Amino acid sequence: MATGGLVHLGGMPDRPPTHLGGEQGYLQAGIVAAAASLVALRESRASGVGRHVDVSLQDAIVFTNENNVGLLDLMGHLRARLGDRAFTGFSLFFPCRDGWLAFWPGGRFDGLLGWLEEMGVDTEPFRAGEWTSPAFRERHIPELTAAIRQAAEGKAKTAAADAAQARRLAAAPVADVADLQRDPQLIARSFWVDVEHELPDGARVMVRYPGAPFKLSRTPWQIRRPAPVPGEHDGEGWRKRSPIRRAGRTGRLPLEGIRVVDLTWQIAGPAATQVLADHGAEVLKIESAVHPDGLRVMALPRPPWTDSLNQSGIFTLMNTSKRSVAINMATDRGPALLRRLIALSDVIVDNYGVDPLPKWGLTPDELLKIRPDLIIARSSVMGRSGPRSHYVGFGYTIGPAAGLNALSGFAGDPPVASCTAHPDYSCNSYHLLIAILAALHHRDNTGEGQVIDLSQHESTVVFNGAAILDYSVNGTIAGPSENRHPDAAPHGVYRCRGNDRWVAIACETNDDWRRLAEAIGRPDLAADPALGDLEGRRCAAARIDAAIEAWSRLRTPAEAADALQAVGVPAGAVQTAADLFRDPHLAARGKFVRIDHPELGWVRGERSELPSVRTEQRHRSPSPLARRRHRASDTRPART
């Protein structure tokens, strides 16, 4: 997570950078490997030729950096840690009577004023004419932050969030693992799964697990048994496999022939459909000229010389290889045209907060009448059923609601995570992708379409699984990790030479520790019997940290990491976006690619993390252009 750039963004500005709580690095690599395997499986079934998938954990983490890479590429801005703020400068977390409220008002200023009044705050100062201007509000974020802080103070976090959601404001209580098991939405959707375990003494107990990250209507995801004990299935053999139909197709991208109607916007949906497009699917992005995708309008990075709808860096990177058509769904002709497109397509996917499809006459039942083998992928904040199915939000509020932020940072600080909308770039986009690929696989075998209902909240809770099991079994409510790890010591980030420069070190074994102590010139520590085991080193963490920093402060992050890696100690430089661009390993793997954009010129894009040896995904075209421009120059600037 350090070499992939995410640790550099995490934590408070006046503290050491922090990693995102839980095993997020491994989990990200796991969903990338799952999606890559499904893409490779589809190609292998068509061609009869096996595939080798090579997943780099570092590559997988780079994608989760939000706008970190684009800010440097398009604006020359090196992003720093923002602590409890979003990259716009708006505070995200506000103290309540019983914890913290995650809150993001977005552009709903009238709704914000209504909520403030309901919470007992005088809103008269905010009703002057200049406050109607978004630009004015952006210059006066501290005043708005103070009002929200006043509104949340003394309130129950869940009640404050529910009142905000009633006004379509993105808000959520910052949950811990105990809060999650009481969550009425998760209970109503039968999310939790009780799994029977046999203890070493033969007793049997029920353990509560997080359930499916998505719901498939015909092939539901389910836990069929607990994790096996060593050797549990010795001698059983494999089940007989069903015959595989081979198409004998070679030399094509694995998803060629699949057509996708893409109703997604912002991040969590477009990130999934981009991978489909880059691997050969024909993805048609349905847009509105009246209400453009928010990424086209307000998202950074964006070059300082323009406010064109076509020059948003994140939109550009999330929509390569797609085509676009603008449809006015408020007319009679709009829904009719969309129906014609659906009838010619294999997949329809959306990530709407408020579900508009029923008013267009496009319920799942109606869609399956148009095309019985259609795959209907629905991604929403809380899922399409349950008492909180109306909730709105995105990664900045979904992560806290799912318990990720409660595991990150330092005790006593406001909740912090990676200072990015992490679930949008991680579990929620990739679980959606995996669900679509799995449904296509099922359709290949049976000819059946189906409906996917992905709750972004549930999808993210799954990535909190280890802490949930610890609570289920031991009653432990995990708190901020403070860069420690129960199975490694020393474990943390250590200051290096330079301003805000750090190296990450994680010693999981006694041999790791001895090699580290020798490498930093402290053989006396290696010989100290009190530090000979994990528990002893955890108790002496402050003493060990001081010894490591006395050594690391004299070196750059790369020098420190290279010296430790040379003797077999797990270590990595805490890399900035500039470091990622210079990283020779990322360069050798072709991580960053050049995209020739009609207005932006050459843009540095990312190669998908779904590589295979024989089949190369590629950006077949830049993101599609909007016809309407604001004040963009017709001549694109020369960029190097």
* Active-site amino acid positions: 424
Please give the structure tokens belonging to residue 250: 């070679």
**Please, are residues 156 and 179 in contact by the beta-carbon 8 Å criterion?**
no
DSSP letter (8 states) at residue 228? P
Query: Is 272 exposed, middle or buried (CB count within 10 Å of its CB: 0-12, 13-18, 19+)?
Result: buried
Q: Phi and psi (nearest 5°) for 485?
A: -145, 135
**Please, are residues 550 and 494 in contact by the beta-carbon 8 Å criterion?**
no
Q: What dihedral do alpha carbons 297, 268, 362, 186 form, nearest 10°?
A: -130
Alpha-carbon span 409 to 79, nearest angstrom: 19
CA 511 vs CA 526, 568, 600: distances in Å: 10, 9, 51
Peptide bond into 301 cis (omega under 30): yes
Please give the structure tokens belonging to residue 211: 């359930």
The one-letter amino acid at 141: I
Total H helices, total E strands in the chain: 27, 17
Peptide bond into 226 cis (omega under 30): no
Q: Mind giving me the DSSP string for 413-477?
A: SPP-SSSS-HHHHTHHHHHHHHHHHHHHHHHHHH---EEEEEEHHHHHHGGGHHHHHHHHHH---
3-state SS, residue 369: helix
The one-letter amino acid at 268: A
Reported as type and span, the H/E element at residue 201 is: none
Measuring CA to CA, which residue among 175, 88, 176, 182 is closest to residue 140? 88
Give me the helices (H) in 540-582, please: 541-552, 557-566, 577-582
Please give the structure tokens belonging to residue 410: 């330092």
**Please, are residues 563 and 554 in contact by the beta-carbon 8 Å criterion?**
no
Count of CB atoms situated within 10 Å of the CB of 351: 27
**Please, are residues 560 and 504 in contact by the beta-carbon 8 Å criterion?**
no
**Please, are residues 295 and 67 in contact by the beta-carbon 8 Å criterion?**
no
Range 116-136 burial, b when 16+ CB lie within 10 A, else e: beebebeeeebeeeebeeeee
Contacts 24+ apart (CB under 8 A), 76-80: 77/301, 78/576, 78/577, 78/578, 79/9, 79/576, 79/577, 80/13, 80/500
